[in-house]
Amino acid sequence: MTVLSVHVESVLAKGASAGAPEAQAAFVEAGVARTEDRSAISEAKPVASESKPSISEIKPVVSEPKPVISEIKPAISESKIATDPMVDECTRIGKKLGSVTIKHCLAVHLTDTGERSVRGQAILIKEYPPLLEQRKPIARVLLIGGMHGDEYASVSVVFKWMQTLDKYHSGLFHWHVSPLMNPDGLLLSSPSARLNARGVDLNRNMPTPDWYKNTGVYWHQTGNDPRRNPGVEPLSEPESRWLYEEIRTFKPDAIISVHAPYGLLDYDGPPVAPGKMGSLRLKRLGAFPGSLGNFAGKQHDIPVITVELASAGSMPAAQDISKMWMDLVRWLRYNIPKDVTMKGYGAFDETTQMLLASPRLNEKEKAEIAAMPVISGQHDSMVEIKGSVGEE
C-alpha cells in the first residue's frame, strides 16, 4: 500500500462534511467605498501612510541589523524559542527576510497547524473567523504563500495583507491564511530553494487524476529538471498532504496562491477570471499535472487565483500591494460561485478514489516515455513567458 493510499483511506474514513453589508467595515475589507461616504476611502487604503519598502528589503539584509530576541517585549527566553514552533519560525523568518521582522511576524499571532515539514518545521496558519454578531460571511477563502521557498516576495506580500486583515477584518469573508507553506525551502536551505527538503516541487505533487499517466511525460519533457520533480507519487510530501487536508476540511470557496516572478495573474476555475490585480494582468499559464490549479480549479471547480509577482526578491511598491488587495477582495465579493464550489466538493473524495484506482505505469510505458525527445531549452511545454517558460 502506497503512502497516498494510507493517507487518503484514513482521510475518507473520517467522512466529508449576500446581500448588501450592514456596516461600512465591509467596504473597507472589500476595498470599496460608498459614494455617499468618501471618508471610507482612506480606510480602504491602509498602506498609504507606510513608507515604501526598498528594492533590497525582501532579500537577506546584511548592512541593516535585525531586532535581536532581547529587543522584543516581553523578552523571549532561549528555552521558549526551542519549544514554541511559532516563535522559532518567526525568528527564522525575521532573520531571513528584510521586509518581515521577528516582531512583525510574532504580532500576527500565527498558530501551529500541528503538521510538520520534512525537516520538522511547523506549518503555521492564521484564521480570521466569521464575526457572526455582525454578519454571516459570504465565502471561505484560503490564502497561501511560500509554496516555493525561493520566492521571497510571495511570503512577504502575504504578511502585508495579513496586516491589513488584522486592522480591517469585518467578517465579510472567513479567511485561512498560511504565509509559508514550504518552510524548509525558505529557511533551511542555503540558498533558499524552490523545492522542499526532499527535492520535490510541491506544486506538482497534488493528486490530479492524470498524475500517474502524465507527470512522467511532463517531467521528461523538461529534461528531468530537478526544479520540477513531482515526487514518487501524489501527496508523497507532508506539506502537500497538509494542503490537501486543509482544502478538504476548510472547503474554501476560493484559493489564492502567491508566487513569483512572472508579473501576471493565472487562473483556474469556473467563473470569469479577474482581469487584473493592481499592476498584474491576466495571462493563463495552463494546467500542469499535480499542480494546485489543476487539482482544485480544474478537478473540483474551486476558483484558484495564482498571483505571480514581478520579482521573487523585491517587494512591489506599497501602493501596488494595497491595490492588488483591493482588486482581489472586490473580485471575491462579486464572483464567488458558491453553488459551483459546493458541487465540486461533492466529488472531492470520488476524484481521489479515481486516482487511487488509476493504473501505474508499467515498464514498457516508462521506456516509451524515456524514448520521447526532450524539448530542448523548454522548462514547461505549455506556456512561454518573457522568452523563457513559466514554472508556476
C-alpha cell at 25: 467595515
Mean pLDDT of the chain: 77
- Average pLDDT estimate for 312-328: 97
Closest among 145, 128, 141, 142 to 180, alpha carbons compared: 145
% of the chain residues with pLDDT over 90:
52
Intra-chain end-to-end CA distance of the chain, in Å? 31
* Tens digits of residue pLDDT in 215-244: 877 777 777 788 889 999 999 999 999 999
Give me the pLDDT at residue 225, please: 81
Per-residue pLDDT at 345 exceeds 50: yes
Distance between CA atoms of residues 98 and 104, nearest Å = 11
What the chain holds in terms of domains, given with CATH numbers, is: 111-371 (3.40.630.10)
Question: pLDDT category, 378, cuts 50, 70, 90?
Answer: very low
Question: pLDDT category, 277, cuts 50, 70, 90?
Answer: very high
Give me the pLDDT at residue 351, please: 61
Give me the pLDDT at residue 37, please: 37
Does residue 46 contact residue 164 with C-beta atoms inside 8 Å? yes
Give me the pLDDT at residue 359, please: 58
Does residue 89 contact residue 50 with C-beta atoms inside 8 Å? no
Per-residue pLDDT at 312 exceeds 50: yes
% of the chain residues with pLDDT over 70:
65
Per-residue pLDDT at 383 exceeds 70: no
